[in-house]
Structure 1
Amino acid sequence: MQLFYHPEVTDGDKEVIFPREESKHIVKVLRKKEGDELHLTNGKGWIFTTQLITANPGNCIARVLHSQMDPPSPYHLHMAVAPTKMNDRYEWFLEKATEIGVHEITPVICDHSERKVVKLNRYERVLQSALKQSLHTRFPVLHEPVSFEDFVKQDFEGQKFIAHCEEDSEKNLLSKRLQAKTSVIVLIGPEGDFSSEEVKKAQTHGWEAVSLGSSRLRTETAAIVACHTAALINEEE
């Protein structure tokens, strides 16, 4: 199934007008014609079955035939991940995390962060592409970048974990500590890991230190391991 993303569509709409870029893709690339069915989501859990009534590369119009709300996820995963020095690695994380089913993402600027400026518009496009490719119907919330100190002070519901590489610290495996069907936040540091001061500060604010295994992982790989671990535990339930 080919899934399109149209955030302005709501339940009850009778017609959908696609923007020029999407219309061109529908007609020129996919070769869709009047009468063909198209499926789209608004990123809020709704999926719409529509029928193309105007196949114009500059302005496609479709009639809504059916709409339904997908059931919500049994858990809520918020990944707080430091931006990587190479931007394409962070975009890879965004893509794969969306495919797995992340719900919120916050870029966190840490003591050892080499990249402190991010382009959220570019990240939004990566998320949109991954949402359509993976046939998900809920668009992940992408927050503005925030400093580590400000982030760990916030009040969050559910479990709060910080995954770091310090070897002289007692840590349980994330997979052993995660609870199913709950809200979870996992902090992943930059290249060079969190500073010792950051780890201590997080723990004073109730964050539990965890390990992702014996391998030393890149930032983006560690984030995906955490995403998959949370998804797998909830599937097992």
Structure 2
Amino acid sequence: MQLFYNPSLDNSFKQFFFSAEESKHIIKVLRKKEGDILYITNGQGYLFEAEILVADIRKCKAQIISEDKSIPKRYKLHLVVAPTKMNDRYEWFLEKATEIGVDEITPIICEHSERKTLKLERMQRVLQSAMKQSLQTFLPKLNPPISFKQYLEQQTKGLNFIAHCGEGEKMEFKRRVAADKDVTILIGPEGDFSISEIALALEKGYVPVALGNTRLRTETAAVVACTTVSIINN
């Protein structure tokens, strides 16, 4: 099954048009024709089955013939991850975390961050592509970058963790995660969180954890955290 993405669809639609870009892909590249069946998600849990009515390369028209609403997970995973020095590494993390099952992502700018600007539109496309490739119907929420201190001023629910490589007592992340519980984990840049940032997070109630016995890159640590939460809940 090939999955398409249309964020404007909901269960009130009967007929709709694909964008010019999607229409060209469907008709010219995939060689779909009138009467063929397509599967579309709106990224909010709906899976629509639609039949092509007009196979126009510029404005493909389809009619919804069935719909299904996925049941949301019993938990939410929020990865709060500092940007990596190289954009492609962060995009790799976004792709893999989406495939595994992340619900929300917030880039945080830390004292040791070497990159402080991000191409959010490109990152959003990476998330959409990964969602479609993995045949999921929920698109992760991508928040704008925010400073570490500003983020800690926000209220969070569930289990809150900070993964760092500094000194101090830390428990293994896999032994602190519980099934069916919302999880937020902070992961720092290549230079790790500063001592003052770690202290501030602990003051805010974040629990220090380790993600293994080796030193991990930022993007690897984020994928390990995502995988751990997924395994605990499956």
- 1:217 is the counterpart of 2:229: no
List structure 1 segments (4+ residues) > 2 angstroms apart after TM superposition: none
* SS of residue paired to 2:161: strand
Deviations 1:193-214 (A, max 9, x none): 1111110110000000000000
Q: What aligned pairs does 1:5-44 form with structure 2 within 5 A after superposition?
A: 5-44=5-44
% same residue: 55
Deviations 1:168-202 (A, max 9, x none): 31000110000111111010100111111110110
* SS of residue paired to 1:83: coil
2:78 matched to which residue of 1?
78
Aligned partners of 1:143 and 1:220: how far apart in 2? 17
Cα deviation for residue 68 of structure 1 reads 1.2
Deviations 1:24-80 (A, max 9, x none): 110111111111100000001000000111111111111100011001112100000
Cα deviation for residue 16 of structure 1 reads 2.0
Aligned length: 234
Q: What aligned pairs does 1:113-152 form with structure 2 within 5 A after superposition?
A: 113-152=113-152
Counterpart of 1:198, as a letter, is E
Counterpart of 1:77, as a letter, is L
Aligned partners of 2:184 and 2:103: how far apart in 1? 10
Aligned partners of 1:60 and 1:203: how far apart in 2? 54
2:90 matched to which residue of 1?
90
What TM-score do the two structures reach when normalised by structure 1? Answer: 0.97
Q: What aligned pairs does 1:43-192 form with structure 2 within 5 A after superposition?
A: 43-166=43-166, 168-192=167-191
* SS of residue paired to 2:233: helix
Cα deviation for residue 218 of structure 1 reads 0.5
List runs of 5+ in structure 1 lacking aligned partners. none
Aligned partners of 2:163 and 2:194: how far apart in 1? 12
Cα deviation for residue 121 of structure 1 reads 0.9
Aligned partners of 2:50 and 2:224: how far apart in 1? 37
What TM-score do the two structures reach when normalised by structure 2? Answer: 0.99
List runs of 5+ in structure 2 lacking aligned partners. none
Aligned partners of 1:179 and 1:17: how far apart in 2? 44
Deviations 1:127-154 (A, max 9, x none): 1111110111011111111000111221
Counterpart of 1:51, as a letter, is E
1:4 matched to which residue of 2?
4
Deviations 1:106-137 (A, max 9, x none): 00000000000111111111111111101110
* SS of residue paired to 2:78: strand
Aligned partners of 2:233 and 2:16: how far apart in 1? 35
* SS of residue paired to 2:212: coil
Counterpart of 2:147, as a letter, is S
